Amino acid sequence: MVPEDDVADAMSSSGTIVVRGFALAGVLFADVPSMVLLGIDADGQRCSEGMRASVLDRWVFPLLVDSRFVPTFCFVFGLSLQLIVDSARRRGVRPWWPLLLRLGSLLVVGVLHGLLWGGDVLRVYAVAALVLLPLGRMALTNHLGATVVVMAFAHLVPAVGWRQMVDSQAVVPLAVAVLAAQSLLSRLRLRRCSHGPVGWAWRSVTWRRRAPTRGGVL
């Protein structure tokens, strides 16, 4: 007889596998141009013509690939991590080790894949997930906190000249610094509580009673 946990795993993952396969098929359309160096001349420079000349390249690909397949793949990737957490909890196992092993092995695969093709994104997914795992259960608190921190920094350090910057020269380092700090603080918070302070208050309002600091999802 098949254990109930295995049946639940199979039922929960089957739909994910189908959607993930659909998304991967679409993502391939986005990867092929860079894999075959479409629109790149012999000197490694992007050609000015041909890459976005047709209606297919100008409208269909961005609409279907960039706006549909890639976000779907990101969503399914996150969902698969949640399925691992649920499976670990049903087995009475702390989910952190399975998640770390899964993401660590994905990082290794991504590094090897990157040696073959420089456009590999598996490394990005693995590293981003390692950072975002503690942020996910404190999403509302971290979202609001990031707004306060970034706006305060912009006003307190006007000499940087934010309004004159038009590219990512300051955006990326600042965002990475905020995410790294939030990841650390979230880990410390989640050792004692299941949610961030704002999320906890939100749950209390939702159920019209003081929510427990540990346990529960919504």
Domain ranges of the chain: 1-93, 137-218
Is residue 196 a contact partner of residue 146, using CB atoms and an 8 Å limit?
no
pTM above 0.75, yes or no: no
Q: Which residue has the higher pLDDT, 57 or 213?
A: 213
**Total residue length of the chain:** 218
Confidence of residue 2 (pLDDT cuts 50, 70, 90): very low
Rounded to an integer, what distance in angstroms lies between the CA atom of residue 22 and that of residue 68?
11
Instruction: State how far the Cα of 87 lies from the Cα of 89, in Å rounded to an integer.
Output: 5
Burial level of 181, CB count in 10 A (0-12/13-18/19+)?
A: middle
C-alpha–C-alpha distance, residues 143 and 202, integer Å: 14
Least Cα distance to 90 among 150, 3, 155 occurs for 3
Distance CA 178, CA 166 (A): 20
Q: Which residue has the higher pLDDT, 72 or 108?
A: 108
